Amino acid sequence: MNSAINLENVKKTLGSREVLKGISFTVERGDIFGYLGPNGAGKTTTIRILLGLLQASLGKAYILGQDINLSETRRKVGFILEIDGLYDNMTAEENLQYYLRIYGMPKARGSIDRLLDSVGLGDRAKDRVGTYSKGMRQRLALARAMVHDPEILVLDEPTAGVDPSGQIEVRQIMLDVAHKENKTIFLSSHNLDEVQRICNRIALINRGEIELYGELESLRRDMGGGGVVIETAEAIPEPLLAELKNLPHLGLHDAKERSLIFSPQEGTEVSDIVSLLAGRGVKIEGAARKEPSLEEMYSAILKEAEPP
């Protein structure tokens, strides 16, 4: 079966600037794919290529195995762009009806009420969009993205400028859509916490190049370097610390008052370290593999990529 989205060595030059320098990645069906990067990294250009708004200078972009420039392919994609593109003078209902007609589904009007209810705008359906708050506009934009029941949603900063409670609502809608309706979501966002909470795979773009790409959990494991953090009930006595330092297979990395950080050699498990410490009379409160947060990964990658 074809992947949901597939970019193969896509390059894009605007004027004299090479905005995308040959990026490749795949989004599998059912993924909630986070697309990260600083301002000007090439996120919006990638999205525009995915939606057929810009043409790749080189390389290919496929949606469900088909050329994105075919109108039939675009019919399978719902989207939120950087600017919502809603008509302020029209009501929420009219905005959705308009898009239903554009997608050639005027008879699906009944679905509008359900959709507006699902994004919490049922009671404001007949109000002009110009009177909506930013959060309500984004929820309506999300409803518009789903109005023709697409297989893939391409969302550019859907929670940008939305207050925290609005962000939670939009995030919950995205999760519901992905899990209950089995849709693929391509989410471009600056909100790393949001991406960490809902995405299973990510790509990080910087200066037009993909710096990091893969399954979020395995990336976190890899970038954590296999570190182990042991939390203890009491401070570790100095003689014991000295003894642990002399056991190279444990790789004691750092010792704070009530926590020890190890980088164990291959073959040494968390349970081995726990048993050893327990055998020395250390009361252990917790033990876990150390995994960096997405924010830490993001900062580390960007710092690494900084020109000298």
> Do the Cβ atoms of 121 and 136 come closer than 8 Å?
yes
Looking up tokens 């919006």 gives 44
With CB under 8 A as the contact rule, the residue among 74, 171, 183, 220 that binds other proteins is 74
Q: Any long-range contacts for 166-170 (C-beta under 8 Å, 24+ apart)? A: 166/133, 166/134, 166/135, 166/136, 166/138, 166/139, 167/135, 167/191, 167/194, 169/120, 169/135, 169/139, 170/135, 170/138, 170/139, 170/142
- Residue 96, both tokens: 């959705």
- Residue 190, both tokens: 């600056």
Closest CB to other proteins among residues 86, 297 = 86
With CB under 8 A as the contact rule, the residue among 52, 59, 224, 226 that binds other proteins is 52
48 binds other proteins (CB under 8 A): yes
| CB 206, min distance to other proteins, A | 21
53 binds other proteins (CB under 8 A): yes
| CB 54, min distance to other proteins, A | 5
With CB under 8 A as the contact rule, the residue among 2, 9, 55, 293 that binds other proteins is 55
Closest CB to other proteins among residues 52, 224 = 52
58 binds other proteins (CB under 8 A): no
Stretch that binds other proteins, among 69-77, 177-185, 190-198, 292-300 (CB under 8 A): 69-77
d(CA 263, CA 68): 46
60 binds other proteins (CB under 8 A): no
With CB under 8 A as the contact rule, the residue among 6, 11, 22, 51 that binds other proteins is 51
Amino acid identity of 214? Answer: G
d(CA 50, CA 61): 7
**What x/- string results for residues 76 through 105 when contact with other proteins is judged by CB under 8 A?**
-x-x-xxxxxxxxxx---x---xx-xxxx-
Could you tell me how many residues of this chain bind other proteins (CB under 8 A)? Answer: 30
| CB 189, min distance to other proteins, A | 18
Looking up tokens 């959705």 gives 96
| CB 271, min distance to other proteins, A | 52
213 binds other proteins (CB under 8 A): no
- Residue 193, both tokens: 């916490």
Closest CB to other proteins among residues 89, 265 = 89
> Do the Cβ atoms of 208 and 20 come closer than 8 Å?
yes
> Do the Cβ atoms of 169 and 176 come closer than 8 Å?
no
Residue 53, C-beta contacts closer than 8 angstroms, at least 6 positions apart: none
| CB 79, min distance to other proteins, A | 5
Given the rule CB under 8 A, which residues bind other proteins?
14, 48, 51-55, 71-72, 74-75, 77, 79, 81-90, 94, 98-99, 101-104
